[in-house]
Amino acid sequence: MKEPVKKDMLALASADKEEQYVHQVYNEIASHFSDTRFKPWPVIARYLNELPAGSYLGVRTGDVFMMGTDRSESLVEICRQRNYECMVSDGLCLPYRTGAFDFAISIAVIHHFSSPDRRLQAVKELLRIVKQGGTVLVTVRRKFDPSTQDVLVPWVVPKSRKPECEGASEPTDDKVYHRYYHLFKEGELDQLFVQAGSCELVESGYDRDNWYVIAKRN
């Protein structure tokens, strides 16, 4: 992961910052971003493999059935093309009834919310949609810049050549996008769940440059 870029652009209102440096960026880089996702991180694979048969993150029964949401229309469309159930929605107001699911996972999402209140609300929403005794797994990027927690991190889409029919033989320049991140300190994610209430921490730790928490809803 490249070093974060710190700019005055971070001095935006929370919703505007997320729209410009999260939502718009992921819509632009969706195809390249998706191509770089190969397999789940170990803690995610373990969590999913330990779920009992018949668990719900969706509306069907069987082994484990999942329903996904994302704020990026482009990423959701990629999921639909691969025959996954997925919809566009806002993590601060999920379109599911309270206690609908046995479990919920949020992978590398909450660090894109740009204020403490919005990060807390995202955790509360995850806890709201799981039933009593259900669990939630959340991962967030760890702090690795000693000077700040709120940064713009570059994503580089490699240079490519134009089609020959366009008469271009020279490659175009790399395209660089910047994504907003709040980099979490050790224990900060745990504290969000404590603040959210109505849950108990089952496990927390570090995996692949990310902090994670597994919590059970009371």
- What pLDDT digit, counting tens, does each position of 84-124 carry? 878 888 999 999 999 999 999 999 999 999 999 999 999 99
Tell me how far apart the alpha carbons of residues 5 and 151 are, in angstroms, rounded to a whole number.
6
pTM of the model: 0.83
In this prediction, residue 165 carries a pLDDT of 44
Closest residue by Cα to residue 134 from 101, 174, 168: 101
| CATH code linked to domain 8-157+176-217 | 3.40.50.150
Q: Sorting pLDDT into bands at 50, 70 and 90, what band is 142?
A: very high
Q: How far apart are CA 44 and CA 108, in angstroms?
A: 11
10: confidence class by pLDDT, cuts 50, 70, 90:
low
pLDDT tens digits along 150-175: 999 988 888 763 343 445 555 567 88
User: In this predicted structure, what is the pLDDT of residue 146?
Assistant: 75
Angle between helices 116-129 and 188-196 (to 10 degrees): 60
Residues forming beta bridges with residue 125, ordered by sequence position: none
Instruction: State the pLDDT confidence band at 30, using cuts at 50, 70 and 90.
Output: confident
Tell me, letter by letter, the H, E, C secondary structure of the chain: CCCCECCHHHCCCHHHHHHHHHHHHHHHHHHHHHHCCCCCCHHHHHHHHCCCCCEEECCCCCCEEECEEECCHHHHHHHHHCCCCEEECECCECCCCCCCEEEEEEECCHHHCCCHHHHHHHHHHHHHHEEEEEEEEEEEEECCCCCCCEEEEEEEECCCCCCHHHCCCCCCCCEEEEEEEECECCCHHHHHHHHHCCEEEEEEEEECCEEEEEEEEC
